[in-house]
A and B are shown apart, each in its own frame.
Chain A
């Protein structure tokens, strides 16, 4: 459990906390970007280079920008009257705390036969490519269809209808 892990974990958790607690919505989106970056570094720590760089490219390069555009298009940068937390915030907090308690207990108290020290996996991009085209070709094609339909659907849902201009 290296010092790098603790440092990056602290940054990630701080970013996540800021993302759900801050009042200004755009600040929340930018704190979410910090959390994504922290997670990408954790992926690199776990020797998953391809997943780490894909995380930066997709999440920080696309999803964060999408969230920010949506905030601006829905006037989210103005703080609402009546506070930013909903009426039933206590129930939500208790549920989240219980979920964390259950997960934490499960992680810390389980016994399993996984070895403590495993060798670094020697995985190259060539292996990933072969796997994508070999064993995982069906999920790849399905994800391609899914992404195309999501693209078309998002454009249809979000665009102005012709003639509805006021």
Chain B
């Protein structure tokens, strides 16, 4: 019974597949999984948009949307209808083909990342051997769509927003890869299903999640910072800074294309939360060994929604970083710390089992964190002003 509740979606999929001849069964199975992903994650997107608006509202001492349904629950429906019926304005000097393709490309690439996430026991769409590499390849491709959107609008503000966004995304790409590489190093595989299997063991009732190790905790914090920057969320949301750049690279988009960009951003946030849950929080495994009777997919989606709540919390609390502060932070603080984290993880493996390695690794990481904060992040003193004009 518990086994059935855990595998209910897999059983449903096999039941539907049984109606088709054996030659087509594999294709039908994959199609069912794809349709399920395309239905579930936009629904989660609607829930997270509502959660964000209500949550931000409460943090800012006001109600969020509360007109449309009881407690504003139907607000995403109203937003969707609005964006579908708004007029689609394309500027006459805009580059038509590229302007159209930018949101399409973004949505395609962002949804491809879900193919390798293990959403429950036996619930990965494609269990690739190099699954993590595939996920990051898809993440790197989103930068190109941001650039396409900004450039094709033929608008100075859009181009400026796009350049800032691309510079930010490529700066934080390296720490993101290094933070995830630590997990690959300690697991010995890039296969996301295997990473979850290794974390699914329990000692004295507590799980072997990587976040509970010193290097894993540091890597999780670095990963969270890097993904906040990659998704252009506060405090790294200067590219779409509403008070500075109109709306940044999607200024010239209206109606459904804007909704697609919005969808792409939130679905991207959900997918990196899913990856973070897989790499550091144990994916679909339960937090305590006496809770393993709860179905695995509930744990996975619970962890994803928890990460979304943390993103919303960060947005409501922290002020925005300026572009040069953001780049400084990436190259002078996050990158050296992630390299040091790799070294500390190697040291962890080298020191062998026992309590000594906890102390040594934690000490090295804490000392490095405070030292880097003192040295790398000192305020620069202002010298005489120099001018540099565009050539």
- Complex: A in contact with B (CB within 8 Å): yes
Residues on A lying within 8 angstroms of B by beta carbon are 26-27, 30, 33, 49-50, 53-54, 56-57, 60-62, 64-65, 68-69, 72, 77, 124-126, 160, 165-166
Check B190 for interface membership: any CB of A closer than 8 A. yes
A30-B148, A64-B144, A65-B144 known; A166+B137 contact, CB < 8 A:
no
Contact partners of B141 in chain A: CB under 8 A: 56, 60-61
A65 touches B129 (CB 8 A): no
Contact of A65 with B170 at beta-carbon distance under 8 Å, contacts A126-B189, A165-B386, A165-B387 already known: yes
Choose from B163, B191, B389 the contact partner of A165 (Cβ within 8 Å): B389
Q: Contact check, A57 vs B98: say whether CB atoms are below 8 A apart.
A: no
Q: How far is the CB of B145 from chain A (nearest CB, A)?
A: 10
By a CB distance below 8 angstroms, the chain B residues around A124 are 129
A53 touches B391 (CB 8 A): no
Instruction: State the CA gap A53–B133 with chains docked (Å).
Output: 6
How many interface residues does chain B have, given as a range? 20 to 34
B130 is an interface residue with CB less than 8 A from chain A = yes
- Chain A residues in 8 Å Cβ range of B389: 165-166
User: B133, A57: Cβ atoms under 8 Å?
Assistant: yes
Q: Is B147 an interface residue (CB 8 A)?
A: yes
Instruction: Let me know if A160 and B189 touch, CB within 8 A.
Output: no
What are 15 residue pairs bridging A and B, where the CB atoms are less than 8 Å apart in the complex?
A: A49-B130, A50-B133, A53-B137, A56-B137, A56-B140, A61-B139, A61-B141, A61-B173, A65-B143, A65-B144, A72-B151, A72-B159, A72-B163, A160-B388, A166-B389
CA A102 to CA B78, docked complex, whole Å: 63
Q: How far is the CA of A150 from the CA of B329 in the complex (A)?
A: 23
List A contacts of B151 (CB < 8 A). Answer: 26, 68, 72, 77
- A61 neighbours in B (Cβ, 8 Å): 137, 139-141, 143-144, 173
CA distance A47 to B276 in the complex (A): 28
**Min CB–CB distance B390 → chain A (angstroms):** 10
What is the distance, in angstroms, from B159's C-beta to the closest C-beta of chain A? 8
> Closest chain A residue to B133 by CB distance?
A53
Question: Smallest CB–CB gap between A53 and chain B, Å?
Answer: 4
Inter-chain contact B130/A50, CB cutoff 8 Å: yes
Closest to B386 in A: A165
Q: With an 8 A cutoff between CB atoms, is B134 at the interface?
A: yes
Q: Smallest CB-CB separation from B139: which chain A residue? A: A61
| Extra A-B contacts (19), CB below 8 Å, given A61-B173, A64-B144, A165-B388 | A26-B151, A30-B98, A30-B148, A33-B144, A49-B128, A56-B137, A57-B133, A57-B136, A60-B140, A61-B139, A61-B144, A62-B170, A65-B143, A65-B144, A72-B163, A124-B129, A125-B129, A125-B133, A125-B189
Question: How far, in whole Å, are A65 and B168 apart by their CA atoms in the complex?
Answer: 13
Q: Which of A61, A69, A72 has the most CB of B within 10 A?
A: A61
For the complex, is B166 an interface residue (Cβ under 8 Å from A)? Answer: yes
Select which of A62, A69, A72, A125 is within 8 A of B140 by beta carbon: A62
B-chain residues with CB within 8 Å of residue A65 when the two chains form the complex: 143-144, 147, 166, 170
| CB of B58, distance to nearest CB on chain A (Å) | 38
B190 — which chain A residues lie within 8 A by C-beta?
Answer: 125
> What is the CB-to-nearest-CB distance from A95 to chain B, in angstroms, rounded to a whole number?
32
Q: Is the CB of B140 within 8 A of A49?
A: no
CB closest residue in chain A, given B134: A53
